Chains A and B, each alone.
Chain A
Amino acid sequence: MLGYINAFIIGGFICAIGQLLIDKTKLTPARILVLFVTIGTVLAALGIYQKIVDVGGAGATIPLTGFGYSLAKGAMKDVDQYGLLGAFTGGIRASAVGITAAVFFGYLISVAFTPKAKR
């Protein structure tokens, strides 16, 4: 149960920071996403994000900062295994499922459905 509460609080907190940035800085959603993924990567490289993941679980991995975290973690892991080449293979290897799923489902869904006007 504690795991769920932690996921809720950490995940909610990360999203709340995003909202604060949108409302206070006029950053567009696209910029917020870029900012979050980059921050996740940096925090992961510094070893900080691992600690957040240990506490928050999905609350830290589901937000886009978690995507940055898995990119950086993968790159560093592959460097340990394959040397410098790992910097170029690890990121995508670790996050392949998210990227591939988004492309594949994105294609399927866009073929199957059409946009509807907002009212």
Chain B
Amino acid sequence: MPTKHIGKQTVKIQNPLSIISTASIVGPKEGEGPLSLYYDVVIEDEMWGEKSWEKAESKLMRETVSKIINKSGKTIEDINYILAGDLLNQCIATNFAVRESGISLYGLYGACSTMSESIGLGAMIIDGGFADNAVCVTSSHFCSAEKQFRYPLELGSQRPPTAQWTVTGSGGVMLSNQGIGPYITYVTTGKIVDFGIKDSNNMGAAMAPAAADTIVTHFKDTGLSPEDYDLIITGDLGSFGRDLCEEIVNKQGYDIKDKYTDCGVLVYNKEKQDTHSGGSGCGCSAVTLAGFIYQEMKKGKFNNVLFVGTGALLSSTSAQQGESIPGIAHGLTLQNKFG
């Protein structure tokens, strides 16, 4: 019998385990968005002095990692693991970003859910006594994502209204068994949920059932209810996916209406920035967590947050072969008080 596993999919963290520092670096478009004041750095152009979009994304993550470490007051030697991932094939942004760091790496792929996947795993590694400190970080880049998943930037095509805008940015956190919060208290690992959506311009609808499934499972596993939270936030469902998710959760008897939102909704100004359904990408939930959520928890505006990273696990190959889009969502409970 596992001692820390509760319910079907949830782990209860037994020892105090804090986020001790965060950092986020974003692109110019995100810098013009509503959350601009929460980011550490806004770069001036998407290439950031590099020769390719992929290199630029790698640099985003490299600089983010070094900021996280600097702000934590730890040294490189104190870091036992980096858990990181991105959207590019074989996670190249990650691999090149941490190449020189000399820290043990677990490269992760959870599509846009990678931020909560990495923190969930990091929390379990530390709570299991296998590490003291771990850096969890992800990145995405609009240009490298368009190039890999969609069309060249200069192609004159239109985006349908359900399409989302990949966030250019990298965000991450340092987890530590010493610290004063916010604490990670529960990790609800998602399972793949697929309702047969095939339209890769409608990722929000593809992921919403997975997000709803994880949120409902989390409540059932932990015995918590929406009243125990002052913020429930999904990763990158966008405005349409957000509405679908709320509706599915509601149908199962949980009213999350007043406290539920989505990072993809917050990250851009939908009307002014022509981003259609909202933000997406690993960076979307990462920079929102590292910026807005963490800082507002520190200020005490939020004390109990359910953070649910959402991922659409498709590839261009699977999409061309007519496969539907498998969705996944991983939930984390962040609390200012432990236990």
Contact = CB atoms under 8 A, between A and B. Distances in A.
A contacts B directly (C-beta below 8 A): yes
A118 to B, nearest CB: 6
B279 to A, nearest CB: 14
Contacts of A116: 153-154
B199 A118 contact: no
Contacts of A117: 27, 29, 45-47, 142-143, 153, 168
A119 B152 contact: no
A18 to B, nearest CB: 11
A115 B144 CA distance: 12
Interface string B15-31: 00000000000011100
Contact of B28 (A22, A115, A119): A119
Contacts, number: 27
Nearest to A23: B160
Nearest to A113: B154
B1 interface: no
A26 B199 CA distance: 9
Interface string A85-119: 00000000000000000000000000000011111
Contacts of A23: 160
B158 interface: yes
A29 interface: yes
Interface in B109-125: none
Interface string B141-172: 01100000001111101101000000010000
Contacts of B142: 117-118
Nearest to A117: B46
Given A115-B153, A118-B153, A119-B29, A22 B143 contact: no
A115 B158 contact: no
A29 B143 contact: no
Interface residues of A, number: 9
Query: Which of B28, B157, B199 has the most chain A CB atoms closer than 10 A to its own CB?
Result: B157
Nearest to B273: A119
Interface in A18-38: 22-23, 26, 29
Interface residues of B, number: 19
B200 to A, nearest CB: 10
Chain B: interface secondary structure? Answer: loop
Nearest to A119: B29
B157 A115 contact: no
A117 B165 CA distance: 12
B197 to A, nearest CB: 12
Contacts of A119: 28-29
A22 B160 CA distance: 9
Given A22-B158, A26-B199, A29-B157, A115 B46 contact: no
A119 B275 CA distance: 9
Contacts of A115: 143, 152-154
A22 B201 CA distance: 13
Contacts of B199: 26
Contacts of A118: 142, 153
A82 B157 CA distance: 41
A29 B157 CA distance: 7
Nearest to B152: A115
A119 B45 CA distance: 10
Nearest to A110: B154
B317 to A, nearest CB: 16
Most interface-central of A22, A29, A117, A118 (chain B CB within 10 A) = A117
Nearest to B143: A117
Nearest to B156: A29
A119 B32 CA distance: 10
Contacts of A22: 158
The 3 closest A-B pairs by CB, nearest first: A117-B46, A115-B153, A29-B157
Interface of A: 22-23, 26, 29, 115-119
Given A22-B158, A115-B153, A117-B142, 7 more contacts: A23-B160, A26-B160, A115-B152, A116-B153, A116-B154, A117-B168, A119-B28
11 contacts: A23-B160, A29-B151, A115-B154, A116-B153, A117-B45, A117-B47, A117-B143, A117-B153, A117-B168, A118-B142, A118-B153
